[in-house]
Structure 1
Amino acid sequence: MDEPIYPDPPPLLLGLVEKGRGAPTPTLNAVPLALSDLESSRLSDLDRRLNYLVARTTTGLSPAACANAFFDWGIHLAGSPGLQLELLAKAFHNWLHLWHFAQAATFDNARTAPAVDPQSHDRRFASERWKDYPFNIFAQAFLLTEKWWHQAATAVRGVDRQNARRVDFMIRQALDVFAPTNFVMTNPDVLAQTTAEFGFNLIHGFWNFIDDLTRFQEGDAPEGAEQFTVGETVAVTPGKVVFRNHLIELIQYEPRTAKVHSEPVLIVPAWIMKYYILDLRPQNSLVKYLTEQGFTVFIISWHNPDASDRETSFDDYRRLGVMAAIDAVGKITGGKKIHATGYCLGGTLLATAASAMALADDDRIQTLTFLAAQADFREAGELTLFIDESQVALLEDMMAEQGFLDSVQMAGAFQLLRSNDLIWSHVINDYLLGKRKPVYDLLAWNADATRMPYRMHSEYLRSLFLNNDLAEGRFKVDGRTVTLTDMRVPIFAVGTETDHVAPWRSVYKFNILTDTAVTFVLTSGGHNAGIVSPPGLPGRSYRMATKAADGPFVDPDEWQKTASKFEGSWWTAWSEWLAEKSSEWVDPPPMGTPEDMPAALAEAPGTYVFQR
């Protein structure tokens, strides 16, 4: 009979056995402690995979960052007995206010003044029905609770400012879930609709929910978006693709005037959006408006990256995007200087490219325009709530697994920033009232989002958003540090009053960051609607003032009080400013060049805009 075969014991166990037989005690050096590079890599992959799964579960939000914020807040609150007593007193005071309000509303509802008013941007209780008993009590109870929790989250001394804001934000999100507007029996408008329709509105709302869920799972656009078809009803301004590389298509638009301004306009949109937000329908197309004012217009249409583009860098976007487009425009227009324009992240990218060009004595830019764009990210609004070391590390691990950051994963954070407008108003209108808001062009465009490559987005988050390297003089291009103060051409910067993505006070910092003349415009509206603001649109206004290159700095709040206010669209002011900075009228340039570039690779809107 063959003897059984046993595996060899591990070295440490073998040493113990030999010790029992009188062998010398094994030393620690006999035990292999160091991991091989392969083993270390596999363990790192394990961590990254785990973080990826966590990020998919939390839509990219870091649980560690949230827990750290609450721990910081909680430990400081626990060590502040005086503040605890103060908050307790405020809670009792609020309860008394609510009690007196409820008593007065019960017996004389018409004359009862509210104990607290909603914030100016909170439109949830705007309906007249919220003044009726007992719904006014529900509203007042919620608003007083919301106000108390805001005080509790922000009044604790010693808490890191970022953590305090994050706690305030998360508590607000939790409270919004339980707002009386979100329930049938506590929302007077929904209750009246349910009574009038015998509950059929809730049935319609249920089917709306099923339809939205199906469209989300299949990646389809919202119902009604099909009426805004790219190349047919939106993005229809005549033009041609005159240059293409792996990252961009450059579209040149046909002239609308017999003569054009000598200097063309090159628009660099953000790479997280399809370019045609600036060329929607003919009546609100910024591109069409500029061509009608006698400008030759070029715009970049970005390639929609996939997993194969994971190593595309931020500098690739500068070289293959902005610089490649500037080279192509120069060839087509015969070397004319350019009115360079950047929108949102496209403006940040343009600022880095323009700074590098200034350092290299490249003077091909005539003027710079920044539309809702930031170069300093220290006050980048509530988006900073999602950006810290923990958050960036989690996003990097998620992108490392995918090769990109998906548009759906970005949308969650943006919706949370305006949850009342983008989430709960949708729940109330579509699911409780059973209605469908008509889909308009801007909403259809918003659903047509793009992805971002892993390496580029990681570099952007760390270098620009997290470390603020560009504004603080540490950002390098081709091994050389670039600075915004090297940009000496005139600047036109536009901020929007209710922008949650690029707050106007952050955009206003171009007045501090540069040593050139800056014309700043503050227009009504938000990040997108404030920019897409054609002449003739009712209710539009803007403030505008220019700071000379050697002029004194005026802080943004003082500027807002003193700057001249104008009714109408800021487009007209920008067009006039561009015309003043242009040199002469000339014949329109050819559509492309007959030399080393074909006359046209495709008709506008090109092919990249259709990539999914």
Structure 2
Amino acid sequence: MLQQLNDANRQWWLHWENTANSSGGTPAPAGGVPPTWAAWLNPRPEWIEKQTEYYRAQLDLWLGLVGAKPAQKLIEPERGDRRFNAPEWEDPLFSFIKQNYLLTSKWLMESVSAAATDEEMREKIAFFTRQYVDAISPANFALTNPEVLKLAKETQGESLSAGMQKMLADVQKGLITTTDESVFEVGRNLAVTPGAVVYENDLFQLLQYTPSTDKVYEVPLLIVPPCVNKYYIMDLQPENSMVRWVVEQGYTTFLVSWKSVQPEQGKLTWDDYIEQGVIRAAEVVREITRREKMNVLSFCIGGELVSTAMPIMQSRGLDWFESLTLMTVILDHSEPGDIKHFIDWKLIRSREPMLEQGGVVSGKELARTFASLRANDLIWNYVVNNYLKGKTPPPFDLLYWNNDSANLALPMHTFFLENMYLKNNLTKPNSFSLCGVPIDLTQITLPTYVFAAREDHIVLWRSAYGTTRLFKGPLRFVLGASGHIAGTINPVTANKRNYWVNEELPADPEQWFEKAESRPGSWWQDWAVWLAPRAGKQVAAPKKLGNTKYKEIEPAPGRYVKERVE
């Protein structure tokens, strides 16, 4: 059974390796130093000195294990590394295994830093070397993890048997289980803010939420979430739902619920998401509320859709937006973070022959790519817990949402990768066109609120700050603590974390941060103060949703968000 789990775990590594390869990366095979990277290592004197130190440490480690000299701790895990926290790792044999691994990992990463190549290639090699190093950790294999062996003995092998069953189930569904999914259900305890679907087409459903206050602001609010995942990241459980909180502040709130693309929709383009998505949704909001303008709140790729829609709307004289809020949105892709290692011209070229006939980019493939950016936390942690220990992870709504992925159309996604990431065209006025209109973001003069998260590994906050150099209207930049999701979805009621504000906007983001003021609690408070003056006066809340033209189709959260990617 131990060997089966050991072999199964190795197969999981090969699976993730193939995923990275298909996304443009070149990770190493399990079982040795990446052969194609060895040629990049530069035998300079300082590198040879590091290698000599490594061999000396390994010799001391071995002599300590066999008793030829006193055993000693030659290396400790990095701060925050919880893989070796259990006391079982202090056993002499497993302490040797642990330190051997840590020493080798350190040597590999230092070798990469001395690679005789340019900075871009060195970063790529370092990233995939780290992926390799994380994957071969002794904690990830049954035979070299003392916690797994102890639990197997205590349960008479039941933990291994349970782990095998969990692994087979996850292989079948194509994703690692990261939470107890039996606890959650969309429409039952997730996405339960009252409302209704008041419009739908083949691309999205438009939700309108039931007012919870007697008075509402006269200017409605349209929320455009990302189309990569389901919208309910903004409407999780009642206590951490941003949508519910917004409604409670007195906003007539509408939200776009994107449809997970089906095979017959495989020819959808970025133009379609603008024309039949953003612009169509805004048109319906105007007709239902009978208001000329609305405020728009967008999140992640939803912000890029809205930003690219605005030049088109301007060219048509559609002055429909009062203000724009961008939550963790990257428009300047000069430094996109580690995701860049999965995006290159090889990937684009491999897709080009399929663009005309269309296709679907699996949401599960996208989810695996994002998980690999934090492999120890989102992959190997659960491999050990689920497959080697046979345990079920605790319920966590954010992780349930994280695994509830959505498909994208191949032409739309490829256009996005090529123009935004590889060419960085959003920073180059009129370098490309959408819906027949040259795109120039420097012509956007709308009041804009830009939020970024300091520890965000998907949208680096310094890159999000680049929006301050593009838009020409009044702009407020606010930085929150934590990461892409936890930093954004930070309920006021919890009063956790903090955020930074600075009224000045110097060109350098580091200069902005140096003079920024830290404030306790959720950044939502600051945003509410900013938005209220742009929301008009308070009027009586509507007594019904939709209108005579746009009647209620079905209760929120609607059908589209409940569709699961198989």
| Distance (whole Å) between structure 1 residues aligned to residue 173 and residue 117 of structure 2 | 46
1:483 Cα deviation after fit: 1.9
Residue 74 (structure 1) shift: 5.6
> Would you say the 8 A contact 2:330–2:463 is kept in 1?
yes
Judged with a 3 Å threshold, the aligned counterparts in structure 2 of structure 1 residues 212 and 64 are, in CA distance, closer, same or farther, namely closer
Relative to 1, partners in 2 of residues 1:373 and 1:608: Cα closer, same or farther, differing over 3 Å? same
Q: Deviations over 1:9-36 (max 9, x none)?
A: xxxxxxxxxxxxxxxxxxxxxxxxxxxx
CA contact (8 A) 1:266 1:297 kept: yes
Distance 1:263 1:186 in 2: 61
Q: 1:390 aligns with which of 346, 349, 353?
A: 346
Task: Give the aligned residue type for 1:552.
Answer: P
**Which amino acid is 1:610 matched to?**
K
Deviations 1:222-270 (A, max 9, x none): 8842432222221111111122222121111011111112222211111
Q: 1:465 aligns with which of 414, 417, 421?
A: 421
Are 1:93 and 2:53 counterparts? yes
2-side partners of 1:248 and 1:528: how far apart? 23
Cα deviation for residue 573 of structure 1 reads 2.1
Per-residue CA deviations over 1:150-184 (Å, capped at 9, x if unaligned) read 2222332433x333222222222222222121234
Residue matched to 1:566:
519
Does the C-alpha gap of structure 1 residues 132 and 339 become closer, same or farther in structure 2, counting only changes over 3 Å? farther
- Structure 1: which 5+ runs fail to align? 1-54
Structure 2: gaps spanning 5 or more residues: 1-14, 29-33
Q: Could you tell me how far 1:525 is from its partner in structure 2?
A: 2.8
Summarize the alignment of residues 314-353 of structure 1 with structure 2, pairs less than 5 Å apart: 314-353=270-309
Calculate percent identity across the aligned residue pairs: 33
Among 540, 543, 557, the alignment partner of 1:587 is 540
- For 2:160, which of 164, 177, 202 is the aligned residue? 202
Give me the whole-angstrom Cα distance separating, in 2, the residues matched to 1:57 and 1:437.
24
Give the length in aligned residue pairs. 542
Per the TM alignment, residue 572 of structure 1 is displaced from its structure 2 partner at its CA by: 2.1
Contact 2:159 2:389 in 1 (8 A): yes
Counterpart of 1:505 in structure 2 is 462
1:457 is displaced (CA, Å) by: 1.4
Residue of structure 2 equivalent to 1:524: 481
Equivalent pair of 1:494/1:520 in contact (CA under 8 Å)? yes
Give the deviation of 1:453 after TM superposition: 1.0
Matched-pair contact (CA < 8 Å) for 2:445–2:472: yes
Match runs of 1:292-307 below 5 Å: 292-307=248-263
Q: 2:169 aligns with which of 211, 221, 224?
A: 211
Is the 1:487–1:515 Cα contact (8 Å) retained in structure 2?
A: yes
The 5-angstrom pairing of residues 253-332 of structure 1 reads: 253-332=209-288
TM-score between both structures, scaled by the size of structure 2 = 0.86
Shift of 1:389: 0.8
Instruction: Go from structure 1 to structure 2 and tell me whether the alpha carbon gap of 1:348 and 1:192 turns closer, same or farther (over 3 Å shift).
Output: same
C-alpha distance in 1, partners of 2:408/2:263? 10
Kept in 2: contact 1:215–1:222 (CA 8 A):
no
User: 1:171 — aligned with what?
Assistant: 129
Separation in structure 1 between the aligned mates of residue 272 and residue 510 of structure 2, nearest angstrom:
38
Farther off after superposition, 263-272 or 499-508: 499-508
Aligned to 2:10: none
Name the aligned partner's letter for residue 574 of structure 1: W
CA contact (8 A) 1:508 1:556 kept: yes
The residue aligned with 1:545 is 502
Distance in 2, matches of 1:466 and 1:97, equals: 43
Judge conservation of contact 1:399–1:405 (CA < 8 Å) in 2.
Answer: no
Confirm or deny: 8 A CA contact 2:17 2:27 kept in the other structure: no
CA contact (8 A) 1:73 1:164 kept: no
Pick from 492, 497, 501: which aligns with 1:535?
492
Structure 1 position 484, deviation (Å): 1.9
CA separation of 1:488 and 1:275: change in aligned 2, threshold 3 A: same
Secondary structure of the 2:503 match is strand
1:139 and 2:98 correspond? yes
Deviation (angstroms), 1:436:
0.9
In structure 2, the CA distance between the partners of 1:269 and 1:64, relative to structure 1 (3 Å rule), is closer
Q: Which moved more, 1:328-337 or 1:416-425?
A: 328-337
Segment of structure 1 superposing worse, 366-375 or 181-190: 181-190
Question: Counterpart in 1 of 2:31?
Answer: none
Residues 1:189 and 1:560: Cα distance change in structure 2 (over 3 Å):
farther
How far, CA to CA, are the matches of 2:88 and 2:354 in structure 1? 46
SS at match of 2:535: coil
* CA positional deviation for 1:295: 1.2
Alignment check: 8 A CA contact 1:73 1:163 kept: no
Q: Pick from 37, 58, 61: which aligns with 2:18?
A: 58
CA distance in 1, matches of 2:27, 2:489: 39
Mapped partners of 1:191, 1:343: distance in 2: 44
AA matched with 2:392: R
Cα distance, 1:397 vs. partner? 5.1
Distance in 1 (alpha carbons) for counterparts of 2:271 and 2:500: 35
Report the equivalent of 1:601: 553
CA RMSD of aligned residues (A): 3.1
SS of 1:521's equivalent? strand
Aligned residue for 2:19, secondary structure, equals coil
AA aligned to 2:363 is S
Which SS does the other structure have where 2:512 is aligned? helix
**CA radius of gyration, larger in:** 1
Q: Name the structure 1 match of 2:509.
A: 556
Moved more, 100-109 or 172-181: 100-109
Q: What CA distance in whole angstroms lies between the structure 1 residues aligned with 2:547 and 2:27?
A: 61
Could you tell me which amino acid in structure 2 is paired with residue 497 of structure 1?
R
- How far apart, in 2, do the equivalents of 1:130 and 1:508 lie? 43
